[in-house]
Amino acid sequence: MRRVVTLADYRHSDIKPKALFEKYLELSATEIRRLLLDGGGLTETPCPACGEESHRAAFEKLGMKYVECMSCGTLYVSPRPSAERLALYARESKANEFWSAQVLKATNPARVEHLITPEVSWVANATEEMVETPRIFADVQSRSVEFLEGIDELGLFGTKVLVNPDAAVGSALEGRAGFERIDDDTTRFPAVEADVVTSFYALDQAHDPRTLLASIRGMLVRGGLFFGMGSASSGLDLQVLWDRAQTLVPPENLNVFSVEGATRLLESAGFELVELSTPGHLDIEYIKAAIERDGVGSVPRFLAYVIQRRDENAHRALQEWLQEFRLSSHLRIVARKTD
Amino acid sequence: MNVSPAGGSDGRLRVGIIGFGKMGQIREEVVTAHADLTLVGVSDVRRPDTALPPGCEFFDEYEDLIDRVDIVFVCTPNKFAPTVTVAALNKGKHVFCEKPPGRTLDDVRAMIAAEEANPSTRLKFGFNHRYHGAVTEALALARSPRFGKLLWVRGIYGKSGGESFESNWRSSREVAGGGILLDQGIHMIDLFRLFCGDFEDVKSFVTNSYWNIDVEDNAFAIMRNRDGQVGMLHSSSTHWKHTFSLEIFLEGGYLAISGILSSTRSYGQGEKLIVAMNPRNRKTAPIANPPEELIYFDKDLSWSLEVEEFVECVKHGSPVNVGSSHDALKAMELVHAIYDADEQWSGAPISRGPREEEQVS
């Protein structure tokens, strides 16, 4: 199984400007209370990665309780809202609306340069290597018009299927040649015989990731490739900052898989892992920000020493080392559907 | 025992390994792990110290083993490989022969003649580097239109020689036919051919600069093909740090493989492929130092993949596409073109290079 290290140069503020991100967190807290917590109806759930029941309390964030799986180390919200409530949140949350209308709009050029263009190249390179004659591409819970346009420009796929795209993506690509749209609340997607399925962050948000993954598998031809991305609980900044990790925001991060949890989830769902990487760039920056925000005693002494007493070269080398050994908190996978 | 080219009574293809040194034992592992193969015997000049797998016999005479199998793995020193290969092919057996394909061009041609005289047989040579993860990924990317035309390749494959290097058969012209270029550098030559096809013009320096042996310990070559693509090669047994490096530069970026997984892991704990692309749709000159992506590969599947491909060819009667006798001939032609391009080397007697007692101050 391969792992990838990506050397890029951008900062958290390029993609999540401080003032906008704080406003988004504020709205999230309000909307979680309004749409997910008020009225109860929360239910306990086993580990969404490995299915084990045993867990320990981790922390509470924006009113939602995270637990840590004793078996695979995955962090997840339990008890959690129903799938219907989560769907309602996705549709009606003012936090989501703000994210699309303000944060994404303000950061779109940086996102295209630093995130989306590399994502398109990643999918293109692996497809060209591993799929002999790619024909059909599908994206589940599409969130980025630019990503889909990048895939279209590659000319690798005759048909692009958008499954449950968000409203902005759906309307932007409505009627575009080569694109088809499927809306399906059941997560039992039709077998479109896709050679490649991408789904970024959808497993993190899914009420039941195992069912979603089974549906994705059902869309693929035998030997087809699934590309996924999300956060990793086993990464440095999440391990160190835990509940203070700025990027961990429910219900976007309902499930935060560890490297081990993601491996078990994919393998038990009938996939062979081709790549499992943690190509995150920002672990050190997040810890540095925590020191500035919460004081030097808020992180382990050695890390505080490295961050305060060593220069950018050392920080960059440490971040690269984290990637090389799958210890950053951004996760990406390529998995092949097995027989 | 009923002998049939279609396999034994259990339907599996019967395999014999001739030459049971390091390579023979690597092949043993792959053969015994393969569901369609059964290892029925090995043959060597020395009986192995370790126990053979259940059902596997030792044969003093390799000809006797050939009679008992469907497939022969030829893992002998170079001097003997053509004789064994030709004998097996002439008995209608399929042959997997280690690289290099003998010592000389005539050796390869003799094996090809036997292959052509026995068209039902399959002959494959062990150019396993083509199956390494970093190589297959780099090849797919290099062939992508997004990278544009390939401009040049540069390869270094070097080792330190190691203990008993001077007394090893690989250091004997009589047994090996050549030195580090023929033994190890031929893998890099095979990869150059994989990416660029055949080369026409060859310049070289071939030296014996350190080891007291009668074959080369370094070969430096620069070569060009009909498309103007240039390859630079350094093959060395005085490379004290074991090194595998293959860089491929294209119009749209570059691919650089560093390290190659081997049984000893001495060329790195993994294979690293660096991928860098110039921005798409650029209107200016290519940027310097474009962002890089590093892909690490930590499993060596090359041995099993190349045998798998061979078994499929045998089972289905399909042609050998990778490591074919044509590949072997072309790689061998390039090895000898590199030898010949250095007039001092090609014109020198068998014992090449200044020995200590011959050096003048």
* DSSP calls for A90-111: HHH-HHHHHIIIIIIHHHHHHH
Contact: A6, B294; criterion CB under 8 Å: yes
Degrees, nearest 5: CA angle B92-B95-B98: 160
pLDDT per residue over A75-121, tens digit each? 999 999 999 899 899 889 999 889 888 888 888 888 888 889 889 98
The confidence score (pLDDT) of residue A15 equals: 78
Give yes or no for residue A231 having a pLDDT over 70.
yes
A109 CB near a chain B CB, below 8 Å? no
Alpha carbon of A11 to those of A8, A253, A332, B335: distances in Å? Answer: 10, 21, 19, 50
The confidence score (pLDDT) of residue B277 equals: 85
Residue from B272, B294, B301, B305 whose CB has the most chain A CBs within 10 Å, to mutate: B294
Distance separating alpha carbons of residues B158 and B244, to the nearest angstrom: 7
Nearest to A129 among B136, B293, B298 (CB): B136
Q: Find the farthest-apart pair of alpha carbons in chain B and give their distance in angstroms, rounded.
A: 72
B291 CB near a chain A CB, below 8 Å? yes
Return left, alpha or beta for A244; rule: phi > 0 is left, psi -120 to 50 is alpha, else beta: alpha
Q: What is the mean pLDDT of chain B?
A: 90
A100 CB near a chain B CB, below 8 Å? no
Interface ipTM above 0.85: no
pLDDT per residue over B94-117, tens digit each? 999 999 999 999 999 999 999 999
Contact: B297, A2; criterion CB under 8 Å: yes
Degrees, nearest 5: CA angle B122-B126-B127: 120
The confidence score (pLDDT) of residue B350 equals: 46
| Stated pTM of the model | 0.82
Mean pLDDT of A1-15: 82
List of chain B residues with pLDDT < 70: 1-6, 279-285, 347-361
- Contact criterion met (CB below 8 Å) for B139 and B191: no
Contact: A1, B299; criterion CB under 8 Å: yes
Which helix (H) or strand (E) covers residue A335, if one does?
strand A330-337
The confidence score (pLDDT) of residue A331 equals: 95
pLDDT per residue over A142-162, tens digit each? 888 999 999 998 889 999 999
One-letter amino acid identity for B333? E
| Residues in chain B closer than 8 A to A132 (CB atoms) | none
| Beta-sheet pairing, B13-18 with B94-97 | unpaired
Cα atoms in the 13 Å half-sphere on the side-chain side of B163: 0
B262 CB near a chain A CB, below 8 Å? no
The confidence score (pLDDT) of residue A189 equals: 79
Nearest to B140 among A118, A121, A129 (CB): A129
